[in-house]
Amino acid sequence: MLVLGIETTCDETAAAVVERHDDGSGHIVSNIVSSQLDVHAAFGGVVPEIAARAHVETLDHVVAQAMHAAGRRYDELDAVAAAAGPGLIGGVIVGLTTAKAIALVHGKPLIAVNHLEAHALTARLTDRTLFPYCLFLASGGHTQILAVRGVGNYVRLGTTHDDAIGEAFDKTAKLLGLGYPGGPQVEQQAARGDARRFPLPRPMQHRRDADFSLSGLKTALRLEAEAIAPLSDQDIADLCASFQQAVVDVIDDRLRAGLRMFRARFGAPSALVAAGGVAANRAVRATLTQVALDCGTVLIAPPQELCTDNGAMIAWAGCERLALGLTDPLDVAPRARWPLDEIAAAEGARLRTAAYK
């Protein structure tokens, strides 16, 4: 089957054509991403209104590029998929409306994809990962540990109580006067810093649940920076190194807790899967590899261009859902908030409560 996927939930305007074979394997036929990074850099973060306007101006061209690069006609498609949430609602509306128009004009089924589900299923496209597996999703907007049991079958084992990990990196970079996006800037500075200089906290560490909290760490960093202001270049490097090490230690501890919860409920996972831009950080990647090894599984991390937002992951999720006969009506609504599964929060809460008993 052949599916066109559209992604507009944040600041990437993306479209892709993906093919799913009868044996369940997938092939990316085309994958076009237009980044708004330069537009938002001046503001130190994504401005929702600007992002939505950019999607309106760019999406038709990006879709046309994806179809041209694929060398396919619209009548050859089996379905049109679009991210229907969660995300910045203005951008979500643009992408979903465009997908509806294409589906209506060409008489194709529409598939409204949960953006988080697309991240969750990408490892099946790249590595044919078998269910069930444990997913660590860490990006600018999301930090979750999930049991991926099947298409549409997810249990949230851990989540953040406040900031996402990527968001904490971005805010740290902004606090220290570094560029946007913050993750690569903090990592670059940390490489020449002393991670032992500032005794930053490790929030939620040693708890039996698998939840995260980053706001206290971010506040502690600000207080340390204010105490020694004005900051030298070495001060900034040491603050970044100390912050990054604290985040790495928290990820290590929280993932081990999450994998214990996974094994207790579902048995051994086929893999630990990493998704989201935070997995590109070398220190984080090394920690994920070690945690997987210590816990008796393997780390699977799709290529970086498929970890960040892209159309291929939306198209692949569309393929997976279409294979099960799951399509959506043309009046399906965009959603700013959309848990992976309507029972994910309740089921995850039950497991976290059980972790204390």
pLDDT at 79: 98
Residue whose C-alpha is closest to residue 14's, from 80, 53, 61, 79: 61
Percent of the chain with pLDDT over 90: 82
- Six token digits for residue 182: 């913050």
Q: Per the domain annotation, does 73 fall within a domain? A: yes
Q: What is the CATH number for 185?
A: 3.30.420.40
- The rounded distance, in Å, linking the Cα atoms of 292 and 262 is 13
- Same domain, yes or no: 49 and 161: no
The SS3 assignment for 73 reads coil
Residue 252 C-beta-side C-alpha neighbours within 13 Å: 15
Say if CB 295 and CB 256 are below 8 A apart.
Answer: yes
pLDDT at 11: 87
Q: Per the domain annotation, does 344 fall within a domain? A: no
- Same domain, yes or no: 143 and 286: yes
Q: Which residues contact 259 (CB under 8 A, 6 or more apart)?
A: 134, 269, 272, 291, 295, 297
- Same domain, yes or no: 311 and 194: no
Q: Is 78 exposed, middle or buried, given 0-12, 13-18 or 19+ CB atoms closer than 10 A? A: middle
Q: Total structural domains in the chain?
A: 2
> What amino acid is encoded at 15 in this protein?
A
pLDDT at 352: 53
- Same domain, yes or no: 102 and 214: no
- Same domain, yes or no: 310 and 224: no
**What does the pLDDT look like over 300-318, one tens digit per residue?**
999 988 988 999 999 999 9
Please check the confidence at residue 342 and state whether its pLDDT lies above 80: no
- Same domain, yes or no: 91 and 147: no
- The rounded distance, in Å, linking the Cα atoms of 267 and 234 is 47
- Same domain, yes or no: 101 and 190: no
Please check the confidence at residue 154 and state whether its pLDDT lies above 80: yes
Please check the confidence at residue 120 and state whether its pLDDT lies above 50: yes
pLDDT mean across residues, the chain: 92
pLDDT at 343: 47
Maximum Cα–Cα distance for the chain, whole Å?
A: 64
**Helix pair 165-175, 182-190: axis angle to 10 deg:** 70
pLDDT band at residue 321 under the 50/70/90 scheme: very high
- The rounded distance, in Å, linking the Cα atoms of 126 and 262 is 23
Please check the confidence at residue 339 and state whether its pLDDT lies above 90: no
Mean pLDDT of 133-161: 93
Percent of the chain with pLDDT over 70: 95
Mean pLDDT of 122-145: 93
Q: Per the domain annotation, does 71 fall within a domain? A: yes
The DSSP 8-state label assigned to residue 72 in this structure reads: -
Q: Per the domain annotation, does 79 fall within a domain? A: yes
**What does the pLDDT look like over 255-272, one tens digit per residue?**
999 999 999 999 999 999
- Same domain, yes or no: 238 and 291: yes
- Same domain, yes or no: 78 and 219: no
Q: Per the domain annotation, does 325 fall within a domain? A: yes
Please check the confidence at residue 48 and state whether its pLDDT lies above 90: no
E strand or H helix at 90? helix 89-106
- The rounded distance, in Å, linking the Cα atoms of 52 and 147 is 32
Residue with tokens 């009868």: 22
Give the domain extent around 12. 2-125+305-339
- Same domain, yes or no: 243 and 315: no
- Same domain, yes or no: 68 and 195: no
